Structure 1
Amino acid sequence: MPTLEDGRQAIEQGNLQQARLIFEAILQETPRSEEAWLGLAEVLTDSEDKRICYENALKINKSSQAAKEGLRNLEPRSNPLIEALGQQPREETLDDDIDGYEDEDDGSPAGAVDPDDGPPTIALIAIGLLLSVVVFAIGSGAVFFLITSMNSG
């Protein structure tokens, strides 16, 4: 029968699949082995599977520091920058802002452009037309020049 030491050696050699099989075999024979549960948690990749292993180790030994630390490491980490600044995460502040916001319906479609946001539309249309005329004139002049130079030559 494999031993806990065999499982630890497999981990040290980087053979996590072999270590998993060893710890599972130990748990088949000795389901109340705290060290086997901790070893199995170490080689598993799924967070929920790890959580189950750490919880089983805690059922065996309620004061297991390794199991408590393992569970603590599975908890989502908060953003240290937000904690340092003493601010709420963006999702929470967004929810708070939405709760206090009253929608004003001014009849404009959603996403409509506010007229105060930029230059007047008529000015943009005039500039577009002017550029079109200039490009057309330059293009027509170039074509006329090419035709006359080919006929005279």
Structure 2
Amino acid sequence: SRAINADTGVNKQLTQMILKWRRPGQELLVGKPEYKSVIEASLGIPCRHDELVMEVMWGMKRFMPSLVRREKSELPKEDLLPVSQGLQMLLSSYGFDVKPEMVNDQIVATASVLFDCDAAEKKQYRDFHALGRHLKNVSGIEYENWDLLKLATAFKIITSFLQ
């Protein structure tokens, strides 16, 4: 908050960091609309502040201590409570109606695990689906409506006879 000020612009240290790491043609993503105005006016660097940027900022704020080990500061409650739209959509897709004030690290971690499990299942299903096509070609067994567990069980049974 002291590095960017509507009256004084962008302080020297932040200016140097931005100029060092920003590449020509890149937009700078900023967490507040006033930062966008000040940086664009004082440094002439195009900035972006919108819903998508806020989604990224939410994740960064929430996980900063795990991303940057030396970061020990705790986020204020108002920064922790907003639920990202992505998290809200993910929780809704699983049938959870989670109010923003209910969100905590355990809910975020659980949603992350559920998402990872679904991604792994989808990848495994694609692999097993290819085996299912082979099964159909060899045996004529229709597998199209089978879930991953049923496909895996069928292949386990078939391969146990081959041993």
TM over 0.5: no
TM-score normalised by structure 1 residue count: 0.23
Larger helix share, 1 or 2: 1
TM-score normalised by structure 2 residue count: 0.22
Rg larger in 1 or in 2? 1
